[in-house]
Amino acid sequence: MTTLTAPADLRLPSPRRSRLAWAAADSVAVARRNIIGMTRRPQLLGFVTIQPVLFVLMFRYVFGGSIHIPGVSYTNYLMAGIFATTVLFGAQNTAIGLAAKSAEAAAAAALPLTVLLTFPSSAFLVTHNLPGPLRAYADHQPLTATVNTVRPLLLGGPTASHVVAAVLWCAGIVAVFAPLAVLRYRRAA
């Protein structure tokens, strides 16, 4: 048997990239696939665009009359929470897309779990009115850190300490779960 090889000038060299460059390229590829998938499922686009509006209407007009925030209207207070949870739910679609290859059942359970863990936070109410253990949880979770960063940008006030807390939460979550996700994704491939 004879093996034919392509002339040296026709073979393309494989690109030499750092692990970070490969991770970034893979992230862009997965994001592109997810965006294409979203455009092919109009119901998902509807959920992504209608859900924040429904949350504003629900919290403002259903619960807004019973929630009083000293010194600011509840509507203005609410918007930072709506913004942060909308971003959270959008990111969850990407996470589910990645997890679907290896853990369909776990990915399906992620939505209700995320919703349940979202509400005890400063996104929709003042946490000092919550009972002790629930207040401790609500005050020290990533959504609260993110909402507390966005709220002063909308209402005015200092943001530096909140930004540090939010960035540390994000970095910690990525540091823990990115390697686990890559490992699981590689095993499924």
- pLDDT of the chain along its 189 residues, tens only? 556 565 555 555 566 888 888 888 888 888 888 778 777 877 777 777 788 888 888 888 877 777 888 888 888 888 888 888 888 877 776 666 665 555 554 555 555 555 555 678 888 888 888 888 889 988 998 889 999 999 998 888 888 889 999 999 989 988 988 888 788 878 876
Q: What is the pLDDT of residue 44?
A: 73
Q: What is the pLDDT of residue 106?
A: 53
The number of residues in the chain equals 189
| Interatomic CA distance for residues 57 and 104, integer angstroms | 32
Residue 8 included in any domain: no
Residue 9 included in any domain: no
| Interatomic CA distance for residues 140 and 117, integer angstroms | 12
Name the CA radius of gyration of the chain, rounded.
Answer: 22
Residue 74 included in any domain: yes
Q: What is the pLDDT of residue 113?
A: 54
Q: Contact, 170 vs 87, CB < 8 A?
A: no
Residues 6 or more apart in contact with residue 49 via CB below 8 angstroms: none
Q: Contact, 110 vs 96, CB < 8 A?
A: yes
Residue 11 included in any domain: no
Residue 181 included in any domain: yes
**Which of 68, 74, 80, 52 is CA-nearest to residue 157?**
80
How many domains does the chain divide into? 1
Q: What is the pLDDT of residue 33?
A: 84
Q: Contact, 77 vs 155, CB < 8 A?
A: yes
Q: What is the pLDDT of residue 168?
A: 94
Phi-psi region of 71 (alpha: psi -120 to 50; beta: other; left: phi over 0): left
Q: What is the pLDDT of residue 125?
A: 82
pTM exceeds 0.85 for this model: no
**Which of 85, 77, 97, 82 is CA-nearest to residue 34?**
97
* 38 CB-contact burial (10 Å; exposed 0-12 / middle 13-18 / buried 19+): middle
CA trace torsion 60, 65, 71, 72 (10° rounding): 10
Residue 55 included in any domain: yes
Query: DSSP class of residue 6?
Result: -
**Domain residues for 171?**
41-188
| Interatomic CA distance for residues 101 and 2, integer angstroms | 40
Residue 16 included in any domain: no
Residue 47 included in any domain: yes
C-alpha distance across the termini of the chain, in Å: 33
